[in-house]
Amino acid sequence: MSATIIDGVAIAKTIRAEVAEQVAALSAHGIVPGLAVILVGEDPASSIYVRSKGKACKEAGMHSETIILPADTTEADLLATIDRVNADPLIHGLLVQLPVPAHIDTDKVLRRIDPAKDVDGFHPVNVGKLVLGDPTAFKPATPAGIQQMLLRSGVETRGAHAVIVGRSTIVGRPMANLLIQSGPGGDATVTVTHSRTRDLAGMCRSADILVVAIGRAEMIGADAVKPGATVIDVGINRVDDASLPKGYRVCGDVAFDEVSKVAGAITPVPGGVGPMTIAMLLSNTLQAATLRQQGR
């Protein structure tokens, strides 16, 4: 058996086209959704990602601002910048690119963002709304993207056993909250596993849907996957490989070559979950602009 490949690039392209169409309709009424990204320091990976967000906004017809602050910016100055953007009527969505330098309290930064502009979905208000199933909640982009991949690939979540490997507040926990909600893309029975889980492989083998976000290269092999299961690989790791010109290769948390022979469907790395993150960020920014228009 060879698994069906869930193409994140194609699905993200479709979502971004849908968002662009809705942005155009909103803009016709004088409302142009705006996204601001604050970057502290010039970490190369973060800088590339921030530029990608700006380009994606432009392609969707959105207003985009990137605010780059020096790495030695004080916490007080960063919080003041957040306050300024919170008050800017042209900006509907705001995020601070993580990680921030060690001298800045990440939790304090996330709590300072206006919940109505928190398109990353990390503010406690939005976390609470998500748990309650409030439709105005901003869903963290990666879990929301995974849910869309499942829906648009025809993967049935209702009544399915979903096992999530990883309990981070960015992926694992919000993913569990999305999958247990009632309605499309939900109604699953969810088990969250982590580094302290006994018999992790056995838990994974019980999954109809396996979401892996553990941050360890190719940790999940074929022996941990039920035949025919849907496998979503959130990981992205750089592994040394002297046989390649760059001296390394990029892989996920799942051993793709062997697992793809067992699974019914699987996401590749790269080209799977990654492209969905920016697509859902654009969707959340559109949502923020729409909610403001509605006075919600």
45 Cβ contact list (under 8 Å, min separation 6): none
Residue 120 designated active-site: yes
Q: Which of 97, 147, 148, 287 is catalytic?
A: 97
Residue 287 designated active-site: no
Q: Which of 53, 117, 129, 226 is catalytic?
A: 53
270 Cβ contact list (under 8 Å, min separation 6): 236, 250
Residue 53 designated active-site: yes
Q: How far apart are CA 39 and CA 240, in angstroms?
A: 29
For 131, 150, 291, the CA distances from 113, given in Å and listed in that order, are: 19, 30, 17
Q: How far apart are CA 238 and CA 236, in angstroms?
A: 7
Q: Which of 22, 117, 118, 120 is catalytic?
A: 120
Catalytic residue numbers? Answer: 53, 97, 120
